[in-house]
Chains A and B, each alone.
Chain A
Amino acid sequence: MNPNANPVTLLSVRNIHKHFGYKQVLKGISLDLHSGKSTLLVGRNGAGKSTLIKILAGLMRPSNGEILYRKESIADNPEKYRKAFGLITHATMFYGDLSARENLLFFGRLKKITDLNEKVEHALLRTGLSHASDLTVKVFSTGMSKRLNIARLMITDPEILFLDEPYSGLDLESIDLLNKYLGDFKSKGGTILLISHQIDACYDFSDKVAFLIKGVIEREIESGNLSQSELLEQYQNQTYMRPNE
């Protein structure tokens, strides 16, 4: 059965607000993530994109609103929810003094992955890091760390991916690697929420584009109705100019 034929709502974001001190960063975000679909979230710096991802990943609590994973609030069973998603952020999130393999094994163990050793070796092979698997991560280049992040996603086998600027610092080869992984991931019924300024890199597999402006999702566009150049134009209009100016 093709899972994309009948998409399920995996994650449902309802009216999320977030205050930071005196400032309100998110002002009522509602968003649905469906299986087999990917959503590209674009917006200016400081629009609240990364904050939204942190809230969705359960790293922050929203000041208001709720997040439903398969119709169940994520606050009710956080551990089950945390098993279901993968995360890439600006930080590499690896221990510099552990080797690549040790890092993967550590996070894999915490995620209770079965057949961990084989999966780790396989992921290292696919990301082309086998030759460096015993080096400590602190000697890795940015690109290698990013690829190691992709390897971590491969072993943890999530259902939802939150990717915050995953393309930054990647060479073309690694972009292909990531896109191939994301394509497979989608065809298996996963859902992706992506933040990126590199529209050309992620246009092909974005099904929906959401414009986050000043803490509000101003509009959502099905990217099927839009060519890449139209999207780029929209993107520049929406994100680099204030709507009222």
Chain B
Amino acid sequence: MVLIGLERNSLRVTNGSNIHSIFNTLNLQRLFLKDTALTLIDRIMSFNKISRLLGFAVLIGLILDVLMIFAWSPTDSSMGWVQKIMYIHVPSAWTSFLSITVAFLFSLLYLWKRREQFDIIALSAVEIGVIFCGLALITGSIWARPTWNTYWTWDARLTTTLILFLIFSGYLLLRRFSEPGDQQARLSAVVAIIGFLDIPLIHLSVVWWRTLHQPSTVFSPKQNVIDDQILVTLIFSVSVFSILFLFLLLNRVELERRNRLYMKTVMTVDE
């Protein structure tokens, strides 16, 4: 139990769940949202509504996705059931790249505009990106074991993903080792920007270094080697993961925002 005196009114806060009452009393939430990118959306709909809507979409999407993967799309003739992991592997990799791109854009925006909101979005995107990067690596090794008879191959795209995972884990470590604030936000933004710009070079060099992976069958303009049903399922998976990304991002951003707001409130009370 924490007893916090705010200005002349005293507020009794029992635990984190009552935090809303502080925000409402101080009208800080409005204040904080005032100059953020989400203002417009916030006016139309509350965070809770969007979050619930997205959450619902993700739930339905995932159920449909599982049905499509296991009941509808044909089992691969050469690889068998193992090939089904592709529907997790590819969207995970896709989502991680999407996250890193979002982080890159918001890092640039932060350095330009210096709005805390952009820093929060960049941080949240990197966290999600690192998780999906990890997922892509794990599913990749599970897939590699029966297919190439090894857990790890220095295949170009897997290797790039691994390096990406390392760079952005470094980003998160930098966050842990520094104090929150403008300096942390600036330094992390710089790392995110150079990390992102390095990706094409890393990929190119790794491709030249060694290529074992099957060429990117989905997006290559050559003849339609991939089955229509497989393709549709894959695209559907990727879409569901993208919505999942949005859902996670929105919630993580809101969580971070509330956390920082809470810390700021506590700090002013401290005086």
Contacts and interface: CB of A to CB of B under 8 A. Distances in A.
A61 B182 contact: yes
Contact of A21 (B114, B180, B268, B271): B180
A198 interface: no
Nearest to B266: A22
B263 interface: yes
B268 A20 contact: no
Interface in A21-74: 21-24, 61, 63
B263 A22 contact: yes
Contacts of A20: 179, 181
A22 B260 CA distance: 7
Contacts, number: 25
B12 interface: no
Most interface-central of B179, B181, B263 (chain A CB within 10 A): B181
A63 B182 contact: yes
Interface residues on B, range: 10 to 19
Interface in B237-263: 260, 263
Contacts of A19: 181-182
A61 B110 CA distance: 14
A214 interface: yes
Most interface-central of A20, A22, A23, A24 (chain B CB within 10 A): A22
B267 interface: yes
B271 A22 contact: no
B8 to A, nearest CB: 11
A19 B264 CA distance: 10
Given A19-B182, A20-B181, A61 B264 contact: no
B110 to A, nearest CB: 13
B115 to A, nearest CB: 10
A243 to B, nearest CB: 12
B271 A214 contact: yes
B267 A22 contact: yes
B181 to A, nearest CB: 4
A24 B270 CA distance: 12
Contacts of B180: 21-22
Contacts of B264: 22-24
A64 to B, nearest CB: 10
Contacts of A63: 114, 182
B16 to A, nearest CB: 16
A21 B119 CA distance: 13
Contacts of B267: 22-24
Interface in B74-124: 114
A136 B271 CA distance: 45
A19 B263 CA distance: 13
A23 B181 CA distance: 9
B70 to A, nearest CB: 48
Interface in A171-229: 214
A39 to B, nearest CB: 26
Contacts of B184: 21
Contacts of A214: 271
B133 to A, nearest CB: 28
A236 B139 CA distance: 68
A22 B28 CA distance: 14
Nearest to A18: B182
Interface string B171-196: 00000000111101000000000000
Contacts of A61: 114, 182
Closest 4 A/B residue pairs (Cβ): A21-B181, A22-B263, A22-B267, A22-B264
16 contacts: A19-B182, A20-B179, A20-B181, A21-B179, A21-B181, A22-B181, A22-B260, A22-B263, A23-B264, A23-B267, A24-B264, A24-B267, A61-B114, A61-B182, A63-B182, A214-B271
Given A19-B181, A61-B114, 10 more contacts: A20-B181, A21-B179, A22-B260, A22-B263, A22-B266, A22-B267, A24-B264, A63-B114, A63-B182, A214-B271
